[in-house]
Amino acid sequence: MDNIDIFNDIDKTELVLNAVVDHPDQCVNFLENANNQYTIVCQNIRSVQKNINSFIVFLSSLNFLPDIIIFTECRINEDSPDLTLPNYSFYSSKKYINQNDGIIVFSKPELHITIEEPNFKDANCLLLHIGNKLSIIAIYRTPSIRKIDRFCHSLETILQTIKSESCIMVGDYNIDIRNDENDPDPLATDYLDLTGHYGFIPGHKLPTRGLRCLDHVMINSKKSTQILIYDSDITDHRTIILGIDRLAHATNITNNRTSSKINYQGIVCDLEKFNPTNLYAHTDITIAVQDFTKIITELITKHTTTKLMKNREVLLKPWITPNLLKCIRKKSALQLLMKKNPKDGKIHETYKNYRNTCINLIHDLKMKYEENLLKAAHGDSKQTWKCIKSICNLNKKTNKNSLINESDNGSDAVNNVNRYFTSVGKDLADNILSSLSMTQKELVSLVSSSLTSTPVNSFFISPTDTYEITKIITSLKAASAPGWDSIKKTKYIPFSITKSTSPESSLQIQLHNGHSLLNNTKCNCPTLDKVDTIKYLGVLIDEHLSWTKQIAALRSRLRKLLYIMK
Q: Are strands 258-262 and 239-245 parallel, antiparallel or unpaired?
A: unpaired
Cβ atoms of residues 555 and 549 within 8 Å = no
The 10s digit of each residue's pLDDT in 48-71 is: 888 898 898 888 888 788 999 999
pLDDT of the chain along its 566 residues, tens only?
Answer: 556 666 677 777 777 888 888 888 778 778 766 678 899 999 999 888 888 988 988 888 887 889 999 999 998 887 788 888 888 999 999 888 888 889 999 999 999 899 999 999 999 999 999 988 899 999 999 998 889 999 999 999 999 999 898 999 999 999 999 877 778 888 998 999 999 889 899 999 999 998 899 999 999 988 888 999 998 889 999 999 999 988 544 444 445 566 788 888 888 888 888 888 888 888 888 888 888 888 888 888 888 888 766 655 566 677 888 788 788 878 888 887 887 888 888 888 888 888 888 888 888 888 888 888 888 888 888 888 788 877 776 655 544 456 656 666 777 777 887 888 788 778 888 888 887 788 877 777 776 554 455 555 555 566 677 777 777 766 766 555 555 445 554 444 444 444 556 667 777 777 666 554 455 556 777 777 776 655 544 444 444 556 677 777 788 878 877 777 66
**Angstrom distance (rounded) from CA 45 to CA 238:** 10
181 phi, psi to nearest 5 deg: -65, -35
- Dist CA 531 CA 156 (whole Å): 50
**pLDDT tens-place string over residues 193-244:** 999 889 899 999 999 998 899 999 999 988 888 999 998 889 999 999 999 9
C-alpha distances in angstroms, 32 versus 133, 224, 242, 358?
21, 9, 11, 32
Chain-centre distance for alpha carbon 560: 25
Which of 69, 158, 140 minimizes the C-alpha distance to 111? 69
pTM: 0.60
Residue 511 Cα distances to 503, 518, 525, angstroms: 18, 14, 6
| Structural domains in the chain, sorted by start | 13-253 (3.60.10.10), 258-308 (no CATH), 318-392 (no CATH), 424-447+455-495 (no CATH)
Closest-CA residue to 128 (of 40, 240, 235) = 40
Instruction: Give the residue from 45, 60, 147 showing the smallest Cα distance to 92.
Output: 45
Q: What is the number of other CB atoms lying within 10 angstroms of the CB of residue 107?
A: 22
Q: Nearest Cα to 158, choosing from 82, 210, 218?
A: 218
Supply the DSSP string of 139-193, one letter for each residue.
Answer: EE--TT----HHHHHHHHHHHHH--SSEEEEEEE-----S--SSS--TTHHHHHH
Order of strands across the sheet that contains 103-107: 17-21, 225-230, 239-245, 37-44, 68-72, 103-107, 89-92
| Euclidean distance between CA atoms 376 and 370, whole angstroms | 10
SS3 of 202, please? strand
Cβ-contact 228, 241 below 8 angstroms: yes
DSSP string for residues in 240-293: EEEEEEPPTTS-------EEEEE-HHHHHHHHHT--THHHHT-S-HHHHHHHHH
- The amino acid at residue 275 is N
Contact between residue 336 and residue 90 where contact means Cβ atoms under 8 Å apart: no
Q: Which distant-in-sequence residues (6+ apart) come within 8 Å of 521 by Cβ?
A: none
Mind listing the pLDDT tens digit for each residue in 236-258?
999 999 999 885 444 444 455 66
446-478 in b/e form (b: 16+ CB < 10 A) is: eeeeeeeeeeeeeeeeeeeeeeeeeeeeeeeee
Strand pairing category for 68-72 and 37-44: parallel
| Closest by CA position to 238, among listed 370, 72, 367, 101 | 72
